[in-house]
Structure 1
Amino acid sequence: MKKFKLASVFILSILFSTFYSCQNEPLDSAFVGVDGSVGSGAGNGGTNNQTGMFKVDFDGQTYIADVVAATVLDDAINITGLRGSNGEAVIVTITENNGVGTYQLGVTNGVQANAVAYSEANNTGFGTWIAATTDGTVSQGEVIITEIDAVNEKISGTFSFTGNNLSLTPAETKEFTNGVFSNVSYAADLSTPNGNEFFAKIDGSEFVEDTVFGIQTSLAGFTTIGITATKNNLESIGFSLPADITTGTYNFSFGSLDDATAQYNVGMNENTIGDGTITISSHNTTDKRIIATFEFVASPFIGTGNSYNITEGSFDITYQ
């Protein structure tokens, strides 16, 4: 359970980072964080005709997104629908892009799983519903990609899933049905917002990211900062840090949601966890800017496999 919740922090951070990174320009000056904060611009009371349509039924009502965006990469697909001005969002992520077809949700081989997440409005950490379970052996739904129009860069499909809220005791479920996304405009690569900076070497070779992003996230009562540097092929270096972290040097750990944690993902099918240190030289919680250096050895998240040395690491990130 603990490992699942820790992995969920990375999942949600990466999903929301992908949503923002795929935008070349702001969506009506709107931005959203899973901590429940949204800037101006979202909330037109219906679908966004410029970016497509996104809807799903749950709790006896139909969720219709005000803002929709997508990213279609060689190894992954992400479609996100935002509603209102209080951080409500549905995020669909496929970790294996095989084009048009049916994808099962929540079934994992230990390092990857297709997933859908719903974040409630004004989420304080207990309002996240994910199409995943603790053992990852039983499908929690499916996404059917019906069309990918590579010429006009639009994607369409349907989805349904059982959302599991493992932050609650006992855990609860919610059914999401009749999900549809239609003619959603997508980006085919990633870009970096806010002038964020990142550097690291992996086994002596520079890691050259296509995007780097930070976002404040709440899960199970813990508030963390997720930082992810990602290539278009979804190779990534990521961190989960306590939101109130101060200057100083910290060991990476994997025992609690409020630990500083590092991850190196070779792709969507090889994930590792970091053993090393991070030194926070500056953290302004008002401006949401954090500056740090780091180094760690990345070893397999589950089982055995290759290890990697991440050295000379540094970042200067303004997070959402």
Structure 2
Amino acid sequence: MRIFKYKSQFLVLFLLTLLTACVYEPIDGTVEPDPGSNSGVFKADFGGKTWTASKTQAIVSGHLIEISATNSKGEGFAIMIEGAAVGTYAANENFVIYSPAGTEYGFWSVNEDNPTEDTGSVTITSINTETKTISGTFHFKGYWSNTNDPKVAIQFTNGTFTIPYITQEETGDVFTAKVGGTNFVSTDIFTATIGSGTDEFITIGAEDVNMNSISIGVRSSLTTGTYSITANTLSDKVQGSYEDVNGEYKAVSGSVTITSITADRIKGTFKFTTNGTTPFNITEGTFDVEY
């Protein structure tokens, strides 16, 4: 479950990027096979009504399932499951979120006051590799993610979906590196734009088959060039981290080089050394991703 270590507003924002502009933009940069498609079905009941999506998309990658559904009002659901197989997944150990229109917050499946609370589940009933569709059901109790402005929790019931999906191999994104001289082979790649104005970062992350992860943060206002990591998170224009089963380690030196950046894609290289009793040395890093 370490891929979901950001059980905070950061992750809410991370998931809500899936719902931007009522079109799913997967966090690993996947291009939609049919932009604006309404061929998928996604429904859920709450507030005495049935909510129905007008646009849907899903991705099945190394060991993640990501699903997004939006309607014409700008409301949306996002589901992120750590697993890529038929089965039932606990909502509080994964993530399900409903976002009303016009807000950076949402009702999500984690009670921050009691993270172990059983808030519901998502059941994947079918992953049809011939028709490339994924089907399932879900229900969950959603807690408002802005704890400074609490709202009454919402029960979401009778959730059901059948959605066309694409795979990690179809994304065209690239993220590679070496950790202590050993190749880091990514199975899942994530991107998101977090923050606003001068504090907006493009976050790029990847996870390998052993669930070790590397992440890079780049200010979205940057142009091509090389930028240093000095461990000063307030002033550094780029950041980095590495995580394994023992915890997360922040980059304290190194650099990120941006070789190309457009309105929706960024390419470059990186290297850094982390903090920790035994620092990790990340070298020969490369990325070419949509964000």
**Corresponding residue SS for 1:132:** coil
**Corresponding residue SS for 2:8:** helix
* Aligned match of 2:26: 19
* Aligned match of 2:119: 140
* Aligned match of 1:202: 179
**What is the CA–CA distance in structure 2 between the aligned matches of 1:10 and 1:204, rounded to whole Å?**
34
User: For structure 1, which runs of at least 5 residues remain unmatched after alignment?
Assistant: 30-40, 43-47, 107-112
**What is the CA–CA distance in structure 2 between the aligned matches of 1:140 and 1:55, rounded to whole Å?**
19
Alignment TM-score, normalising by the size of structure 2: 0.70
Does the 8 Å CA contact 1:251/1:276 hold for their aligned counterparts?
A: yes
**Corresponding residue SS for 1:172:** coil
1:99 and 2:86 equivalent?
yes
**What is the CA–CA distance in structure 1 between the aligned matches of 2:281 and 2:162, rounded to whole Å?**
42
Q: CA offset at residue 223 of structure 1?
A: 4.1
Which deviates more from structure 2 when the two are superposed, residues 153-162 or residues 273-282? 273-282
User: What RMSD, in angstroms, separates the aligned Cα atoms of the two structures?
Assistant: 4.3
* Aligned match of 2:43: 55
Q: CA offset at residue 203 of structure 1?
A: 1.8
* Aligned match of 1:149: 128
Q: Percent identity?
A: 26
1:136-175 Cα deviation digits (max 9, x unpaired) = 2212222123334344343322212222333351433541
1:228-262 Cα deviation digits (max 9, x unpaired) = 2355776542234454567742345779xx99653
Q: CA offset at residue 15 of structure 1?
A: 6.7
**What is the CA–CA distance in structure 2 between the aligned matches of 1:117 and 1:253, rounded to whole Å?**
33
Q: CA offset at residue 54 of structure 1?
A: 0.5
For the structure 1 residues 172 and 226, does the alpha-carbon distance in structure 2 shift closer, same or farther, using more than 3 Å as the test? Answer: farther
For the structure 1 residues 316 and 151, does the alpha-carbon distance in structure 2 shift closer, same or farther, using more than 3 Å as the test? Answer: closer
**What is the CA–CA distance in structure 2 between the aligned matches of 1:132 and 1:254, rounded to whole Å?**
28
Map 1:189-228; keep pairs closer than 5 Å: 189-193=168-172, 198-209=175-186, 212=189, 214-218=191-195, 223-228=200-205
**What is the CA–CA distance in structure 1 between the aligned matches of 2:66 and 2:6, rounded to whole Å?**
23
User: For structure 2, which runs of at least 5 residues remain unmatched after alignment?
Assistant: none
**Corresponding residue SS for 2:11:** helix
Map 1:275-314; keep pairs closer than 5 Å: 275-277=251-253, 279=255, 281=257, 287=263, 290=266, 293-297=269-273, 308-314=280-286
* Of 106, 126, 139, the match for 1:128: 106
* Aligned match of 1:274: 250
**What is the CA–CA distance in structure 1 between the aligned matches of 2:211 and 2:17, rounded to whole Å?**
10
Alignment TM-score, normalising by the size of structure 1: 0.65
Letter in 1 for 2:69: G
